Amino acid sequence: MRDSKKKWKLWQGISLNVILLGVVSFLTDVSSEMIHPLLPMFIVALGGGGMAVGLIGGLGDSLSSILKVFAGFWSDKSGRRKPFIFLGYALSSICKIFLAFSTIWQHVLILRPAERVGKGLRTAPRDAIIADSSVEQRGKAFGFHRAMDTAGAIGGSLLAFTFFYFLGLDYKMIFLLAGLVGLSALVPLFWVGEKRREPKKGLSLRIGLKGLSKPLRCFILVAVLFSLADFNYMFFLLKVKEAFVGPKISVALPVLFYVWFNVIYTLFSLPVGVVSDKLGRKLPIILGYFLFAATCLLFTWARSWAHFLALFGLYGLVYALVDGQQRAFVSDLGGKELRGTALGTFHTSIALANVLDGLIAGYLWQYISPSAVFLYGAGVAFLSAGLFTVLSLKGMFK
């Protein structure tokens, strides 16, 4: 009886909208993560190097990011969020299907960013619906959503491993199946409700951005600095690929470690959200920044499967601490009327920073050494953690 009460308490505060959007994200991430752990190896197989990996990862984030602020603003101005969400998920699924027909890495350079455009359209309006649907327990709602998202990532990664290692399917067939799974994620969206709001005809993007509070702008600056350290996940997988030999094992092991990363991420996302609702967002975020710096530093010496097992676990914990809680913190700091714009500005700012750090990481990987990539990430992450700590102690985010 006591256990059932605890389970019910854990689910309290999570609305139907949040659950439905969680299901959508689950299916979408099953689809996406059938592709993501294989993508760096696919790019290399098509003739791309470290710069190609960094460019594809960074360019995808940049196009996605540019649309995030506009989609968030447009959803605030129009009073509608759901059309942007539906169009974004549909576009991503279609691009995944076309990715299966790539024959050179330049095709991926076009299709991967196009797929990310869909993410740019949907992310800020979707997060705004989650925030609007969860007033008092926003951290739990975002933690639940990230947990569902990452649970899908685990399922997708395991499917990718099974299809590649046991069934012998090639990259392209796996990508085609992933696109079909992505299309199924559109179905639950038909039941997602949104509060009818009057269109804000006098609202302009300039006014929306100007209306963001000083604490929010300061936090976005900190998040941008951390994003310069948080280079694309593909470099972590390529590090594993370099450590092992064999045509199958050098692809299968990165996928398995990616699964492990997502398992840890999923296990801790919701508990971290619950804790942040009680103790505040700052502590988990600061801890996550410091842990990322330590993880990068340790990756420079990683050689064995045991090293990678521990470090990908830490990597998953970092994302559980940082990802959902940064969004919840932005929602806390942003005003209700401009929440979509605030989230869009946040997503855009950090993703634009990821373009630069992707190019830096690609250059360091290809022309200096893989270790240089991780040393760079550790240094910038320590700097961002220190800055956020100082600003918090000075009362900037009260």
Q: What is the pLDDT of residues 130-176, one digit of tens each?
A: 988 876 677 788 888 878 887 898 899 999 999 999 999 999 999 99
3-state SS assignment for residue 134: coil
Mean pLDDT of 237-264: 91
Give every CB contact of residue 382 below 8 A, 6+ residues apart in sequence.
Answer: 290, 293
- What integer pLDDT is reported at residue 67 of this predicted model? 82
Nearest to 253 by CA among 267, 238, 265: 238
pLDDT value for 204 = 65
Quick: pLDDT tens for 22-68.
999 999 999 999 999 999 999 999 999 899 999 998 888 778 877 87
The count of C-alpha atoms lying within 13 angstroms of the C-alpha of 230, restricted to the half-sphere facing its C-beta, is 25
Task: For residue 142, give every residue at least 6 positions away whose Cβ sits within 8 Å of its Cβ, in sequence order, or none.
Answer: 127, 130, 131, 134, 273, 324, 325, 327, 328, 331
- Integer Cα distance of 396 and 38 in angstroms: 42
Neighbour count for residue 377 (Cβ, 10 Å): 27
Confidence check: pLDDT of 185 > 90: yes
Angle between helices 305-333 and 249-279 (to 10 degrees): 40
* pLDDT of res. 12: 62
The model's pLDDT over 289-304, given as tens digits with 9 standing for 90+, comes to 999 999 999 999 999 9
pLDDT mean over 325-353:
80
pLDDT at 205: 61
Radius of gyration of the chain (CA): 20
pLDDT band at 367 (very low <50, low <70, confident <90, very high): very high
What mean pLDDT comes out for the span 5-9? 45
Residue of 380, 336, 346, 92 lying closest to 223 (CA atoms): 346
First to last CA, the chain: 40
pLDDT digits (tens, 9 = 90+) for 225-247: 999 999 999 999 999 999 998 87
User: What pLDDT is recorded for position 110?
Assistant: 95
Confidence category of residue 326, pLDDT binned at 50, 70, 90: very high
Q: What is the pLDDT of residue 7?
A: 46
Structure token digits, residue 2: 């006591």
> What local confidence, expressed as pLDDT, does residue 5 receive?
46
Candidates 140, 169, 282; CA nearest to 215 is 282
Query: In the chain, what are the domains?
Result: 15-189+210-393 (1.20.1250.20)
Report CA 7 to chain centroid distance, whole Å: 27
Q: For residues 290 and 382, is the Cβ–Cβ distance under 8 A?
A: yes
What mean pLDDT do residues 294-323 have? 95
pLDDT reading at 256 higher than 90: yes
Alpha helical stretches, state H, the chain: 2-11, 16-33, 39-45, 50-78, 82-99, 105-132, 138-161, 171-184, 205-210, 214-229, 233-243, 249-279, 282-299, 305-333, 339-367, 370-393
More confident residue, 182 or 210: 182
User: Could you give the CA distance from residue 18 to residue 34 in angstroms, rounded to a whole number?
Assistant: 24
CA dihedral 286, 287, 293, 297 (to 10 degrees): 160
